Amino acid sequence: MVKIACIGAGYVGGPTMAMIALKCPEIEVVVLDINEDRIAAWNSDSLPIYEPGLDEVVQEARGRNLFFSTDVTKHVSEADIIFVSVNTPTKTSGIGAGKAADLSYWESAARMIAQCCKGPAFKIVVEKSTVPVKTAEAISKVLRTNGDSSVHFEILSNPEFLAEGTAVSDLTAPDRVLIGGKEDADGQRAVKALADVYAHWVPRAQILTTNLWSAELAKLTANAMLAQRISSVNSISALCEETGADVSEVARSIGMDSRIGSKFLNASVGFGGSCFQKDILNLVYICETQGLQKVADYWRMVIDINDYQKQRYVERVIGGMFNTVSNKKIAVLGFAFKKDTGDTRETPAIDVCRGLIADGAKLFVYDPKVEAQHVHYELSAAKFSWDHPKAPYASASRLSSVSVVKDPYEACDGAHAICVLTEWDEFKQLDFPRLYASMTKPAFIFDGRNILDHAALREMGFVVYALGKPLDPFLRKD
């Protein structure tokens, strides 16, 4: 029986391994983590991450050929294929601070693998977490110099392209599976073994094999280009507001050009999530270290525009509300970085809420899937601190200017404004006449996701800011 171990039971490791176990009943899959609470949650009825359809996948495979454990060394030593999906935080000090990836969790995982694997054996180590280009080379040196000489370690890069909220469907029918490996016989033996796993449910034509560095760079480039599309449309949203054009109409028009395509053209208050910013920063740092400053500057602008968009939104809110939100109650609808996830990592809500708090606002946050402690943690923690095995979400101290409530009507009761920061479907179904009646007048809505019916809201009496759309005369400064 082929045995797979995965180090890291996070947003990538957990769902990916569950899908492999589901589709390959004859393969034993063990997902490992040093975080005991996380493993306990994976073994319970309340999984540590919210992902539509994931409960069913886990329930079918768990206990059959899918296991979650903290006994890392035992299962790694027994595995034929070892996936590594650990944290790769952005460095906050030293060389490359604020840009480069901190590979210390990766390195310690590699040292542990080297120490517990005994030969003779052929072990495949698979990079699953996004890492800078050439990480495989560094890791293979750690394995070679620390391991039993009768164990052959072969490194593969198998980046994951799933998006949160659609992880199960992305894993069930991926656009492609990418496997990078060395071009020699051992490399190709390992590539074939991993391709055979995916071939249980993914057509062979969609399993791409490349060299190691191409696979590593393809992952960074895919995320950078997706983020670039959002920053491009967001930059145009600013111009639309000044000129009276409508960003949705512009996006629809350009999206019908088959060379451009219609996806990832929704203007928003900014992109978030654990990957986009981190991966672009990685790309920027790699370019800089290769002496490619112009290329680094080009990609850096994608992040700069994202920061600008969040700041612009804050200025619209404060500017629209007569230049101050001091002591005004503001309802924040949505805190997750996108709908259908409870994930708050790098959510645009962080910078927006901080900007409003700095001007004295009293925030009432409602999100259907985000826990109160996560909101308080994100608003008080240092930049990049979330990306560590035990980010102290539970011990975050409560901010006096932020209340997290379980009911959107409570969040809006008496509020001066509603800020929509996540595109949850349920926000479209709210009883807006009821909300309007309960709010302080003039009642503002700042739709940072363009999901509401703006004309209907204006009919009801709301002053509406819709991102990238002709500005409501009430909000004009002149």
Closest CA to 159 of 137, 172, 141, 176: 176
Closest CA to 270 of 190, 355, 182: 355
Residue 14 phi, psi dihedral angles, 5° rounding: -60, -65
Count the neighbouring beta carbons within 10 Å of the beta carbon of residue 156: 25
Q: Which of 122, 264, 298, 393 binds ligand UDX (CB under 6 A)?
A: 264
In the residue annotation, 24 being an active-site residue is answered as no
Q: Which of 31, 126, 218, 230 binds ligand UDX (CB under 6 A)?
A: 230
Q: Which of 2, 41, 163, 254 binds ligand UDX (CB under 6 A)?
A: 163
At its nearest, how many Å lie between ligand UDX and the CB of residue 165? 7
Q: Which of 21, 54, 139, 162 binds ligand UDX (CB under 6 A)?
A: 162
Instruction: Find which of ligand ADP, ligand UDX, none residue 362 binds, CB within 5 to 8 Å per kind.
Output: none
Q: Which residue is nearest to ligand ADP (CB)?
A: 10
CA distances from 97 to 78, 148, 277, 281, 346 (A): 37, 34, 14, 10, 17
Q: Which residue's CB is nearer to ligand UDX, number 161 or number 436?
A: 161
Residue 226 is a binding residue for ligand UDX (CB under 6 A)? yes
Q: Round to whole Å and give the CA distance between 155 and 132.
A: 15
Instruction: Find which of ligand UDX, ligand ADP, none residue 158 binds, CB within 5 to 8 Å per kind.
Output: none
Report the side by side order of strands in the sheet with 417-420: 402-404, 362-366, 329-333, 417-420, 444-447, 463-466
Q: Which residue's CB is nearer to ligand ADP, number 127 or number 241?
A: 127
Residue 168 is a binding residue for ligand ADP (CB under 6 A)? no
Closest CA to 346 of 316, 319, 306, 402: 306
Tokens 């975050």, residue located: 396
Residue 344 is a binding residue for ligand UDX (CB under 6 A)? no
Closest CA to 298 of 290, 287, 309, 307: 287
Closest CA to 375 of 355, 338, 415, 347: 347
Residue 245 is a binding residue for ligand UDX (CB under 6 A)? no
Q: Which of 105, 285, 313, 335 binds ligand ADP (CB under 6 A)?
A: 105
The residue from 6, 24, 240, 275 that is catalytic is: 275
Tokens 């500057």, residue located: 297
Site for ligand UDX in 314-343 (CB under 6 A): 337-338
- CA dihedral sign, ordered 374, 379, 382, 383: positive
Residue 265 is a binding residue for ligand UDX (CB under 6 A)? yes
Measured CA angle at 229 (ends 374, 232), to 5 deg: 100
Instruction: Find which of ligand UDX, ligand ADP, none residue 223 binds, CB within 5 to 8 Å per kind.
Output: ligand UDX
Q: Which of 5, 11, 413, 463 binds ligand ADP (CB under 6 A)?
A: 11
Residue 7 is a binding residue for ligand ADP (CB under 6 A)? yes
The count of chain residues that interact with ligand UDX, using the rule CB under 6 A, is: 19
Count the neighbouring beta carbons within 10 Å of the beta carbon of residue 4: 25
Q: Catalytic positions, please?
A: 275
- Which residue ranges make up the site for ligand ADP (CB under 6 A)? 7-13, 32-35, 38, 72, 85-87, 105, 108-109, 129, 274, 389
Positions touching ligand UDX (CB under 6 A) are 160-164, 223, 226, 230, 264-266, 268, 271-273, 275-276, 337-338
